[in-house]
Structure 1
């Protein structure tokens, strides 16, 4: 469930229950349901005008963005947000087609994406960081210590090379667990997904076979497994299939009360996905943020770093065509990056940007123009 602030508990609980019911319906639909639309905020007073900002993309930040939109309505009720949680790939396509005002993506734009809209210029703005976690459903492990995995073993499971839960590679990593002689059911995303991009980026970093045979992208040709639409679809499929393993954003695993594995990272330490281990991954790459503001932070070298971490991004055109809408988006983003926005992010298991990264993002936001002239 979404975490909410006590000062507005009752209306937020009602709002959140509605949002969660939408997510649950989408997950149970086996990938056939339409986009998940975030409920709009409290309507403006009769007679007042309001502006609707449309976005689409990543499911990874869906719980946070919905919370941000709800909270921001109390600050500026004249601006409403409609965000379709359709996956990073879909969001990138829509922002390129200029059918939305902004896109959400966990995947880094390719050179081809930038070239497709030239001479217009797309820009990625990190909003927060989060973790992708291997989530599993094994009846015999319920109530037991968390499963431990490493990168190579995880890659071999998703390559279809490890097919039983009591495979020697798994038992060696988990001497304190009694693993059953049960088939492993692999679950992956069926849609274009930034969560998949982060996950496959990690697998390609730790496994040469994965890099050569599958690679990293928002969509890949999966060697094995069942597909689920969105983080919610994967979480739903895992929860319904004993013996399954998938990957989701940390918040989704927590909201669905799914167990998620610990990882043996590149330094050889066993770590859990927490705000601190995600923060450590960002710190490991401190000073390496390029001007594009897009950076992979998987397989961080630190002993206390979660290895499957990533930034999630809001994508905008650097030259806006509607000045009022452009200002509304920039003002919202600056609020989201403030201490108030960071507090809501932390409540929902996302990690706010380090100070140096936030400074870079705010500076880049100040460079956004409208029809060639300064916007702010």
Structure 2
């Protein structure tokens, strides 16, 4: 099915094992133009602990109280139903090999393996397909100064609701364990490059660009890096 639509509750109930066939009444209601087959839904998930699983289950926790109570969020959880695959590649393989299989993978794996994706209804009520534009839009919201936040179930009207940041964690004070100033300065410059010039590389690698308001937050954090109390960047 290439033009499938899913609501948050339908997605959660599929992963809870409450919706078992593709021609379920609720799926037909949100996909009136599709000829959905009477085919079992095989749920695929990551068998290994992963950040991808954390993001997916974090989203399900936000949209389904039952999911949060029964399963919760985490890098690894006890899945109520389904079949596990190792890594994004393993889940992508299950989706391609098993008729009626539904799984979650990084956008890059879906694009590279030509796997159809569903349009998921976001908080604004819009059905959004995962795309680089929709992922960047999801991040274009107000976030805390330390950037510690979840952007799943985003408030952004054009945002895809299952998206996340990737962080690099470094010491703010870089003068530790006889670390030379040259190395500390090089790291700060690398991080500055990552949030500026390197953003041009994101989309060719199938990752969303950071919105400007997020770049501004990241700039302040990178500029707060010090060596013996002195800023590493001007």
Same fold by TM-score, threshold 0.5 exceeded? Answer: yes
Partner of 1:303: 157
Q: Give 1:330 deviation, angstroms.
A: 2.5
Q: Pick closer, same or farther for the CA change 1:359–1:187 going to 2, 3 Å.
A: same
**Larger relative contact order (Cα-Cα within 8 Å, sequence gap ≥ 6):** 1
Tell me: CA distance 1:374–1:304, structure 2 relative to 1, closer, same or farther (3 Å).
closer
Match of residue 89, structure 2, among 232, 242, 261: 232
Q: RMSD of the alignment, in Å?
A: 1.9
- Alignment of 1:177 onto 2:34: yes
Gaps of 5+ in 2: none
Deviations along 1:275-322, one digit per CA (max 9) or x if unpaired, are: 332233222x22xx2233111111123432211121121122333333
Aligned mate of 2:184, from 297, 307, 326? 326
Distance 2:110 2:183 in 1: 35
**Would you say 1:316 and 2:170 are equivalent positions?**
yes
2:76 equivalent to 1:219 = yes
* CA distance in 1: counterparts of 2:11 and 2:86, whole angstroms: 21
Q: Tell me, yes or no, if structure 1 residue 194 matches structure 2 residue 51.
A: yes
Q: 2:221 aligns with which of 364, 368, 371?
A: 364
Residues 1:244 and 2:105 aligned together: no
Partner SS for 2:170:
strand
| Corresponding residue for residue 144 of structure 2 | 290
Which residue does 1:281 correspond to in 2? 138
Q: Distance in 1 between matches of 2:77 and 2:188?
A: 34
Q: Does 1:155 align with 2:9?
A: no
Distance in 2 separating the partners of 1:292 and 1:182: 46
* Moved segments of 4+, more than 4 Å: 370-376
After TM superposition, give the deviation of residue 241 of structure 1 in Å: 1.6
The Cα shift of 1:192 comes to 1.9
Checking the alignment, whether the CA contact within 8 Å between 2:45 and 2:91 is kept in structure 1 is yes
Deviation at 1:345, TM superposition (A): 0.5
Q: What is the aligned partner in structure 2 of residue 207 from structure 1?
A: 64
When the two structures are aligned, how many residues end up with a matched partner?
229
1:74-223 correspondence to structure 2 within 5 Å:
141=1, 145-223=2-80
Q: Measure the CA separation in 1 of the matches of 2:95 and 2:227.
A: 46
- Structure 2 length normalisation: TM-score? 0.89
Alpha carbons of 1:301 and 1:241: their partners in 2 closer, same or farther (altered >3 Å)? same
Q: 1:189 to 1:327 in 2, by over 3 A?
A: farther
Bigger strand share: 1
1:253 is aligned to 110
Cα distance between partner residues in 2 of 1:220 and 1:170: 26
Distance in 1 of aligned mates of 2:171 and 2:52: 23
Deviation digits for residues 341-367 of structure 1 (CA, Å, limit 9, x no counterpart): 111112233222122221221221122
TM-score (norm 1): 0.57
